[in-house]
Structure 1
Amino acid sequence: MITDKVFLEIFNNRIQAAVEEMANVVLRTGFTAFVKETGDFGTYLLSPAGETFGSPLDTGYNLSLGIPAATAINAIKDWQEGDIVICNDPYTTGGMVTHLPDIHLIKPYFHEGRIIAFGLCFVHSSDVGGKVPGSVSPTAYDIHMEGIRIAPVKLYEAGRLNGQVLRLLLDNSRIPEQNQGDLNALMAALNRGEVRLKELIRRYGAEQVEQGIENLLEYAELKARTIIEDIPDGSYDFWDYLEKGPGGYPIRLRCRMTISGSDIHLDFTGTDPQVRASFNIPTHNQQGHYMLVPALIRYFRTMDPTIPWNSGMVRMVSNYAPPASLLNPQVNAAVGARAATFIRVMDVITGALSQAQVNKVPAAGAGQACIVMMAMTDPADGKSKVGVIQPICGGSGARPMKDGIDGMDFAVGHLRNIPAETVEAEMPILIEQYGLRKDSAGAGRFRGGSGIDLRVRILSPDTVMTARNMERMEFQPWGRVGGGVGGHGEAILNEGRAGERSLGRIDELLLQPGDTVTFLSQGGGGYGDPYEREPKLVLEDVLKGLLSAEQARDGYGVEIAGNTVDEAATGLLRSGTAGSSEAFSFGEARETFEALWADEMQLAVINALSQYPLALRDYLKRQTMAEVEKLTRTGEAVTPQAVPEVMEQLRMAIGLR
């Protein structure tokens, strides 16, 4: 029961100030570029039960609502003042951690012998060991390939450092000094949070602070429920894909979102089984898990900007992912590239929500956060270096009332770019091009955001590049209500020179001095009929270099003559043309794939696979899809009902049990 709304508003502001201050401590004192420039870290305050009641909005990584911290907290049986627990293992933390580079620290905040709250923070380490620099490879097929694993253990016990635990982490990293610096930044943030909480206790008393924590969570829940009640009851299905999974086949994520009063249930039945690759998300079916709900909480916050940013917003969200599926894998599945999957989950939830709230939800954005990393020996000083070059995102989807944002997708808006000067000062490379990509935005009454054009020149021998989370290289960001698709991504080696070739998705690439790699990221999908866009806005995009005159004519029916619109020619181009109002436009690549692999066919494959041991599922999926495609090419139609028989014949033919 919320009894004092005036105090609650004051308390909320003080908590928000505290977590923002904690985040700024990390930002200003962190060592790696991924922390001090990109901002891939988080600082949070948790209730004794493990719910996030304080989370920064302006600094760091704000995907904090729905963190299942209870398992990690309960793993420590004898919390003492001065303790700091360290962990990075997704399985022993029950899904609080979702891949190994995210090193978490937890500190209890005591008052008179009892825990009032916990401080939680994490940093995305640029390297924790594993098979590739940066520790994340899409082709890793178990977690042992991805780096060191640390179950919850005390790094500090009653204020005393456990040097052996620290040494274990640092000795298994390619960048021990930088990791040490980032850990020091996290500990400073935890200490700052403790100071601020104690100030609140001195001012208001422990009981009022504890009541304030619970009331903050309750207030966010009440406001979120009010928003949900405005969504029509019903079930809404949507699915989308990751590309080039094992065997080259797309990996599907499917969700049925059910609205019932003020409750939301997300059922991921029909999502593909866990894969022999690193795209799995270890949610452990934790309810309202923070990797499943970001699209919802962003919608809530958009509809009501006053709602407190805490885990009360997801108390009414329940979810189910089948065991051994992509979103609920069994222990030891590889999880390093799970960011690609959680971004696609956001697209899936957005697609489902847009069916319920047709005129309130945007088109799909770029759908990737491609983290480009390099490792080399710097010829200038002989030192080995590992670092992030840039998080390459793309344009956001167009909104029902406004264009998309250029160069940044809503899904990963927390990631900041790294200035070219900083990258060049720290790594032996040259940034030759960094700007917006022409003709990448999806056409529409409101256009999508433009993608990124980045070209990097290598200056050091035997440089290893990794680029994880490259997606939407074939299936384009979808448009809404007649809007067009955004451009798909590309990566090109030595563009415009002898030996130029398309790279597709990059896992690990060996480069030599003089080589260049060009990244062309995706534009967001458009919203509404492109022929309803004002010609002067089309002209502005042409003059800014975001749109070619050819695309202005072909995509928008606008003829550009010099620096003006040819009104007469534009009128002729647009006359007699019936605009599309289809709910979604998915693009040729996806439509071609789904001409055979319709929803019913894919569900038939998933259902048939559930009858076999986990060890056979990924293999049998690939073989079954290949066989169905082979039969189709010979003119034989395969129905969903025939899929189980095809799969069983394949199993028997190779003697699998």
Structure 2
Amino acid sequence: MAEQKKVGIDPVTLGVIAGSFNAIAKEMALVLYRMAYSSIIRESEDLGAGLFDPEGNELCESDSTPMHIGSLPGYIQGVRHFLGDNIHDGDIILHNNPYHGASHTPDLAIIIPIFHEGELIAFAANTGHVLDVGGMSPGLMVDVIDVYAEGKHYNAVKIYDKGERNEEIWRHIFENVRTPKENKGDVEAMIASAKLGKKRYLELVHRYGLETVQAAEKRWMEYSEEMLRKEIEKIPDGVYKAPTGWLDDDGRNYGERLRIETSIRVEGSDMIVDLSGSSDQVETAYNVPYSGSTLPATYTIVRAILLDEANSEVFIPQNSGIFKPIKVEAPYGSIWNPKPPAACTARINQVQRLADQINLALSEVLPDKTTAGNSAHVHFNSYAGVKEDSGEYWVYIEVNEGSYGGRYGKDGLDSVDNLIANTRNNPIEELEMRLPMRCTRYELREEGAAAGKWRGGIGIVRTWEFLTDSLFSGEGDRHTDQPRGVFGGQDGLTGSMKLNPGTEKEKNLHAKLTNYKIRKGDILEIRTPCAAGYGNAYEREPKQVLEDILDNYTTIEKAKELYGVVIRDNLTIDMEATRQLRAQIQQTV
């Protein structure tokens, strides 16, 4: 890249160009999920899209899953590693190596270089989770021997070379997966999205000039960095440590829990997240790619806590400026930074817990910006089988929602993907039209919410009836370690999975399974964790407790036991009895 000239930029032009960046990223994502074939991209929006400078610095990102967009700088660095300067106008590059930037093997990236007058000036790129990449298991997997067993890796493969489509490469790619039609449709959608990003970026360059656009990029990233550093500087220097967290197991050695240690050092405007003391890497795919997953998960949660858009008076863009004040120390050979060729495709629960641990570590110093313990999990499941009429595979990947912990002034959100994930649920009607499965129950868990001055969110219970023999793989967790209450709030509830609940064939299932056989007529029940409460439950407003009863979040009996609120049979509050009961409770504490 040629050396940039120093060009000043006025605030109005900066605002217009920066606004255009954000609009471009959102438009790219819209094209991708509207055109995609697979439900995990089309309905769940498990994708990311944006623009990047030649070094891979993120200029803007779509409002989609942070794990996708936050990993793309690493993807681009991986592409530069493999291709060096062998990047040309008209190239379209496919990449997914988790040891060279990818978030994990199923997350394919399409990267299109953008040239102007013969100079590489930017990249338009996106990622999406495809249904299958030809690994040892259809869809998802945990118990695999190494990274090669996870599926095919495309190390900066040019599927278009200087504008020429490489038909043999296309044929090779899509003849070696179980879902060729869906994968091909998704990749075509990703190409259309990235091409649009290229077109829109060049329109900006032609309108304002390259030097002005690059000056806007530089200033926009500097602004984000400055704003985050200002917030970090407000935190007293020191070390803040979360309670030790535990993952259930690695999906092979059941019952052998894995340790999570998280401490945060604040030094001026720098924040260092130290994961030393966490479990060593494991022999299954339950490891976390450092560049593609550990780093973006950390960046995302720190930004979410310190620069909450809902409480900010000004818009602060998400770009690589956010990454610069944050450093992550993860020992090489740990679950957060594995050595190749360790498998690492099943990493979503660990990074969710990492985000929650950072949240808990900062709760003591930022009580009004953090939450109680979140569900911090994803019951990420895949279902697959072979169609009798055609012999083709059907594969479905689903994300089962969790819940947020209570936070200062607000109750936790129910039934929602949380922390560093942002996927949407699939409409049941759409799934039942396409799959040999029937959803017989899909609702909030009946056990109710964790008590607190602000209650925790409630997870879901979902049951599936299988109309044909199927293979099930799950990347679940949090069946053993409850979400942590803070400032006196109640702990949340763990999750669970059962086969044929309430029958003679009832069987408790591990959270992690690979190619587990489910028979026609079986029922699978999934319960996701309920998040924790924030603050002393006896300080909750009695009117809010009554509303929880009316919403079936708690009962009259639990209102008295957990909140010290007395509710009459006619569903009115006995304020005098409530004052007396709470006074008695306070005397015994």
Q: TM-score, normalization: structure 1? A: 0.83
User: In 1, Cα distance between the equivalents of 2:20 and 2:13?
Assistant: 10
For residue 458 of structure 1, report the CA deviation from its aligned partner.
Answer: 0.9
Matching residue of 1:644? none
| Map 1:239-318 → 2, pairs under 5 A | 239-245=244-250, 246=253, 248-283=255-290, 289-302=295-308, 304=312, 306-318=315-327
**Contact 2:546/2:567 (CA < 8 Å) preserved in 1?**
yes
Matching residue of 1:423? 431
**Contact 2:415/2:458 (CA < 8 Å) preserved in 1?**
yes
SS in 2 for 1:407: coil
SS in 1 for 2:69: coil
Matching residue of 1:128? 133
Which of 49, 59, 71 aligns to 2:55? It is 49
**What amino acid is aligned across from residue 237 of structure 2 in structure 1?**
D
For residue 523 of structure 1, report the CA deviation from its aligned partner.
Answer: 1.0
Which of 328, 348, 356 aligns to 1:339? It is 348
For residue 488 of structure 1, report the CA deviation from its aligned partner.
Answer: 0.8
For residue 464 of structure 1, report the CA deviation from its aligned partner.
Answer: 1.3
| Map 1:524-539 → 2, pairs under 5 A | 524-539=531-546
User: In 2, Cα distance between the equivalents of 1:570 and 1:512?
Assistant: 53
Compared CA separation, residues 528 and 24, structure 1 to 2 (3 A): same
**Contact 2:417/2:423 (CA < 8 Å) preserved in 1?**
no
Matching residue of 1:450? 458
SS in 1 for 2:97: coil
Which of 440, 451, 457 aligns to 1:432? It is 440
Deviations 1:27-72, CA, capped at 9 Å, x for gaps? 1100000000000011121111111111012x45565346323232
User: In 1, Cα distance between the equivalents of 2:272 and 2:536?
Assistant: 33
For residue 429 of structure 1, report the CA deviation from its aligned partner.
Answer: 1.1
Which of 22-31 and 246-255 deviates more? 246-255
**What amino acid is aligned across from residue 106 of structure 2 in structure 1?**
P
**What amino acid is aligned across from residue 191 of structure 2 in structure 1?**
M
| Map 1:156-235 → 2, pairs under 5 A | 156-235=160-239
**Contact 1:155/1:165 (CA < 8 Å) preserved in 2?**
yes
**What amino acid is aligned across from residue 261 of structure 1 in structure 2?**
G
Which of 541, 547, 555 aligns to 1:548? It is 555
Which of 481, 484, 488 aligns to 1:482? It is 488
**Contact 2:24/2:50 (CA < 8 Å) preserved in 1?**
no
Matching residue of 1:147? 151
SS in 1 for 2:194: helix
For residue 307 of structure 1, report the CA deviation from its aligned partner.
Answer: 0.8
SS in 2 for 1:387: strand
**What amino acid is aligned across from residue 73 of structure 1 in structure 2?**
R
Unmatched segments (≥5 aa) in structure 1: 582-657
For residue 251 of structure 1, report the CA deviation from its aligned partner.
Answer: 1.1
Compared CA separation, residues 32 and 519, structure 1 to 2 (3 A): same
User: In 2, Cα distance between the equivalents of 1:262 and 1:51?
Assistant: 21
For residue 409 of structure 1, report the CA deviation from its aligned partner.
Answer: 4.4
For residue 440 of structure 1, report the CA deviation from its aligned partner.
Answer: 4.2
Which of 210-219 and 295-304 deviates more? 295-304
For residue 141 of structure 1, report the CA deviation from its aligned partner.
Answer: 3.4
**Contact 1:393/1:412 (CA < 8 Å) preserved in 2?**
no
**What amino acid is aligned across from residue 434 of structure 2 in structure 1?**
E
Query: Could you list the runs of 4 or more consecutive aligned residues of structure 1 that deviate by over 6 angstroms after TM superposition?
Result: none
**What amino acid is aligned across from residue 357 of structure 1 in structure 2?**
L
| Map 1:95-134 → 2, pairs under 5 A | 96-134=101-139
User: In 1, Cα distance between the equivalents of 2:416 and 2:570?
Assistant: 28
For residue 380 of structure 1, report the CA deviation from its aligned partner.
Answer: 7.6
Compared CA separation, residues 375 and 7, structure 1 to 2 (3 A): same
SS in 2 for 1:578: helix
Matching residue of 1:648? none
Matching residue of 1:385? 394
Q: TM-score, normalization: structure 2? A: 0.92
**Contact 1:343/1:411 (CA < 8 Å) preserved in 2?**
yes
Matching residue of 2:3? none
For residue 569 of structure 1, report the CA deviation from its aligned partner.
Answer: 4.9
Deviations 1:109-156, CA, capped at 9 Å, x for gaps? 11000011101111101111222221x322223112211122112111
**Contact 2:373/2:484 (CA < 8 Å) preserved in 1?**
yes
Q: Find out whether 1:370 has 2:376 as its counterpart.
A: no
User: In 2, Cα distance between the equivalents of 1:451 and 1:55?
Assistant: 29
User: In 2, Cα distance between the equivalents of 1:349 and 1:488?
Assistant: 20
Matching residue of 1:350? 359
SS in 2 for 1:194: helix
Which of 31, 36, 39 aligns to 1:33? It is 39
Matching residue of 1:471? 477
Which of 84, 87, 91 aligns to 2:92? It is 84
**Contact 1:431/1:457 (CA < 8 Å) preserved in 2?**
yes
Matching residue of 2:419? 411
| Structure with greater contact order relative to length (CA < 8 Å, sep ≥ 6) | 2
Which of 23, 27, 30 aligns to 1:24? It is 30
Q: Find out whether 1:494 has 2:513 as its counterpart.
A: no
**What amino acid is aligned across from residue 454 of structure 2 in structure 1?**
F
Unmatched segments (≥5 aa) in structure 2: 1-5
User: In 2, Cα distance between the equivalents of 1:207 and 1:564?
Assistant: 67
SS in 2 for 1:517: strand
User: In 2, Cα distance between the equivalents of 1:572 and 1:378?
Assistant: 65
User: In 1, Cα distance between the equivalents of 2:389 and 2:404?
Assistant: 40
Matching residue of 2:369? 360
User: In 2, Cα distance between the equivalents of 1:410 and 1:133?
Assistant: 26
Which of 417-426 and 267-276 deviates more? 267-276
**Contact 1:287/1:318 (CA < 8 Å) preserved in 2?**
no
**Contact 1:129/1:174 (CA < 8 Å) preserved in 2?**
yes
Which of 578, 581, 591 aligns to 2:586? It is 578
Q: Find out whether 1:64 has 2:69 as its counterpart.
A: yes
**What amino acid is aligned across from residue 45 of structure 1 in structure 2?**
L
Matching residue of 2:331? 322
For residue 580 of structure 1, report the CA deviation from its aligned partner.
Answer: 11
For residue 397 of structure 1, report the CA deviation from its aligned partner.
Answer: 0.8
For residue 287 of structure 1, report the CA deviation from its aligned partner.
Answer: 12
Matching residue of 1:632? none
For residue 487 of structure 1, report the CA deviation from its aligned partner.
Answer: 1.1
| Map 1:508-527 → 2, pairs under 5 A | 508-527=515-534
User: In 2, Cα distance between the equivalents of 1:466 and 1:133?
Assistant: 8
User: In 2, Cα distance between the equivalents of 1:252 and 1:291?
Assistant: 18
Deviations 1:217-272, CA, capped at 9 Å, x for gaps? 11111111111111111111223221123352221121221111111112222121
**Contact 1:288/1:318 (CA < 8 Å) preserved in 2?**
no
Matching residue of 2:240? 236
User: In 2, Cα distance between the equivalents of 1:425 and 1:529?
Assistant: 47
User: In 2, Cα distance between the equivalents of 1:191 and 1:452?
Assistant: 39
Compared CA separation, residues 511 and 74, structure 1 to 2 (3 A): closer
User: In 1, Cα distance between the equivalents of 2:70 and 2:302?
Assistant: 11
For residue 421 of structure 1, report the CA deviation from its aligned partner.
Answer: 0.3
Which of 12-21 and 371-380 deviates more? 371-380
User: In 2, Cα distance between the equivalents of 1:417 and 1:405?
Assistant: 15
SS in 1 for 2:21: helix
Which of 399, 407, 411 aligns to 2:407? It is 399
- C-alpha RMSD over aligned residues: 2.2
SS in 1 for 2:471: strand
The count of aligned residue pairs is 572
**What amino acid is aligned across from residue 397 of structure 1 in structure 2?**
G
**Contact 1:109/1:115 (CA < 8 Å) preserved in 2?**
yes
